[in-house]
Structure 1
Amino acid sequence: MTEKEVLIIGAGPIGIACALECKKRNIDYVVVEKGTLTNSLYNYPLNMTFFSTSEKLEIDGIPFISNNPKPTRNEALEYYRRVATSNELNIHLYETITDVEKQTDGTFIVISEKNTFEVNNIIVSTGFYDIPKLLGVPGEDLPKVSHYYKEAHPYVMQNTIVVGASNSSVDAALEIWRKGGNVTMVIRGATIGERVKYWVKPDIENRIAEGSIKAYFNSEIKTIKQQEVIVETPEGTKTIPNDFVVALTGYRPDFKFLETLGIELSDEGNYFPKYNPKTMETNIPNLYLAGVICGGMETHKWFIENSRIHAKVIAKDIATKQRRTKELTK
């Protein structure tokens, strides 16, 4: 049994920020991550460029130097890796948590694949990138269908359908087309997404207008078959020759895990978790949320640049509680 004051679940940028704040305040902590360091960022497309500038991705005031105004995935991986290693943060990687039990004295027993921890506080900073939003159509389980996009090379000279009109969908469509793929976009809405990066949006709109990339707006996939895809469009049902489907329809947090912890979720369809915005503490005492997971299904609400502050807020609240406990035991 390993005893710690704080256990942080998730070693993404916000989990790392929480660890830094705990270390600064001499709060005994451990970070447990089921994958690699900054696992979600690692799984981003190889050539991805962030919307934010590098200074907005910094944590704890540690400079993030980028070669361009908008940093790349590789630059971000290097930055967060150096922050974690140079500060000698206590991070356990490739260690999945299997059970969390609340004790009668208010502490938690956290069981992972490799360790058992007894902790006074838990910070959940698990992001949302692990569970894709499924299309829910026949054929979605075929090997040619992917809900993640890494690079364009597998789609060279292939008939590829990209589903969605978000940043990830647009980036994938443009990159696959430029590498020699035949790209068709299937978009549920009437236009390219409003949040698409401002320097990319004219590019995709021009490629669609000139016919280089075919786009079906106000349309949905109905069936995916081995060599074709059936799409319902305003002009009727279309049968499109197809080799690959890249369904970038978004992702969602692991709400089942939050519920097993006892965290209350709203029943409005957005699954907003209950927490105090002044402390980030949930309805379960000494159990905190940090980062994008605070937004429920509205995964665009919180991101690195506006949720970095969660780390300071949480560490301050934990330190205040520690101080009060010491005063009471004097």
Structure 2
Amino acid sequence: MNKKNLDTTYDIVIIGAGPIGLAAGLEAQKAGLSYLIVEKGCLVNSIYNYPLNMTFFSTSERLEIGGVPFTSLNAKPTRAEALEYYRRVAEKFALNIHLFEAVERLQPEGGLYRLSTSKGEYRARHVVVAVGFYGIPNLLHVPGENLPKVRHYYFDPHYYYRQKVVVVGANNSAADAALETWRKGADVTLVVRQAELGSIKYWTKPDLENRIKEGEIKAYFNASITEVRGREVDIQTPEGKLTLENDFVLAMTGYQPDFSFLQQMGVNLTEDEKRYPQYDPETMETNLPNVYLAGVICGGMDTHVWFIENSREHAVKIVRHIKQEAERV
């Protein structure tokens, strides 16, 4: 234990240095509250793990925090531009951030909270959980999924040049992976569980539909992978089982929040498949006094409900509530 860390009690400790965690730090700073942002990875770790050539659906002004303008060369900003922007915000306001430090445990202690991390311990009057959902992929649950050729994260298309690639999924991530790897020389097969493509960026969907129509990207709908082997993959289609030669499987099946962390803290979750956490939408406070949620974590398994642009206000609500409660004392 790093006892030096316990000498200071922060008004707020924020778990997660994504855009919403940074926004919470900015609001705390503006309100004159002492704060610390603790992040298990790098700054805006989820955005860093996006595909190399990823383009946001949102325009740049909708990704802004702290009143800092976000300028982009194009109508839609890129991953690289977002990384640059959030670095500049962190530097401009000299935000108090500890990176590559994972929070392992949170427990009440004498009206405060003690946070145990991979590098020390801290006390806080209030805790804001602003973690994302990019750390735990939704698995296929098929034999062979643990083989190195199966990837749940896609980064750079060049890697798959002249490889036989199966992309699993129906939405943006699958569309981007299929198109980019095909354009870099991969032999691409798309496997979609539904009867049609899902929610895809409007400038990407026609491109993918045309590639499928022309037979340049093979696609199987109402289909699923049933087994992965070293040089093959089995696909169940409406016409029966199909075995394909295969080098890599890109399972773009989405991700989910770390519910075990919320449960360990004592945050109530619904018992259905949505796993919605309990919080007051007006204040963002959970069933635990002085513990708040912000950002995508609020949606449980509905990870496409909250985005940067519509959850920036969570930080404002949280700090306003903390200030109001302090004034009542």
Q: Same fold (TM over 0.5)?
A: yes
Deviation at 1:19, TM superposition (A): 0.2
Report the counterpart of residue 198 of structure 1 in structure 2. 202
Q: In the alignment, does 2:16 pair up with 1:10?
A: yes
Contact 2:105 2:265 in 1 (8 A): no
Write the distance in 1 (CA, Å) between the matches of 2:111 and 2:261: 19
* Secondary structure of residue in 2 paired with 1:102: strand
Name the aligned partner's letter for residue 29 of structure 2: K
Match of 2:112 in 1: 107
1:277 aligns with 2:281: yes
> Are 1:66 and 2:72 an aligned pair?
yes
Letter in 2 for 1:245: V
The aligned amino acid for 1:38 is V
Give the aligned partner of residue 31 of structure 1: 37
Secondary structure in 1 matching 2:24: helix
What is residue 125 of structure 1 aligned with on the other side? 130
| 3-state DSSP of counterpart to 1:36 | coil
TM, length-normalised to structure 1:
0.97
Tell me which of 209, 221, 241 is aligned to 2:225.
Answer: 221
The Cα of 1:314 is off from its aligned counterpart by 0.3
Instruction: Give runs of aligned pairs for residues 306-325 of structure 1, distance below 5 A.
Output: 306-325=310-329
Q: How many pairs were matched up? A: 323
Distance 1:190 1:258 in 2: 35
Match of 1:233 among 214, 237, 244: 237
Corresponding residue for residue 328 of structure 1: none
Query: Shift of residue 61 of structure 1?
Result: 2.0
**Residue identity in the other structure for 1:55:** E
Give me the whole-angstrom Cα distance separating, in 1, the residues matched to 2:228 and 2:11: 50
Could you list the runs of 4 or more consecutive aligned residues of structure 1 that deviate by over 2 angstroms after TM superposition?
none
Report what 1:163 is aligned to.
Answer: 168
Amino acid at match of 1:90: N
Match of 1:143 in 2: 148
Tell me, yes or no, if structure 1 residue 253 matches structure 2 residue 257: yes
In 1, Cα distance between equivalents of 2:247 and 2:305:
35
Query: 1:98 & 1:305 partners in 2: Cα distance?
Result: 29
CA shift, 1:97, in A, is 1.2
Q: CA deviation at 1:51?
A: 0.2
2:295 is matched with which residue?
Answer: 291
Mapping for residues 34-53 of structure 1, pairs under 5 Å: 34-53=40-59
SS at match of 1:308: helix
* Residues 51-86 of structure 1 deviation map (CA, whole Å, 9 limit, x = unaligned): 000001011221000000000000000000100111
Stretches of structure 1 that go unaligned for 5 or more consecutive residues are 326-330
Indicate yes or no: 2:286 matched with 1:303: no
TM-score by length of 2: 0.97
Amino acid in the other structure paired with 2:251: A
> In 1, distance between residues paired with 2:237 and 2:65?
45
Q: 1:186 pairs with 182, 191, 194, which one?
A: 191
Q: CA-atom RMSD, angstroms?
A: 0.7
After superposition, give the CA deviation of every residue in 1:158-199 in whole Å (9 maximum; x if it has no partner). Answer: 000000011011001000000000000011001111x20011
Give the secondary structure class of the aligned counterpart of 1:136: coil
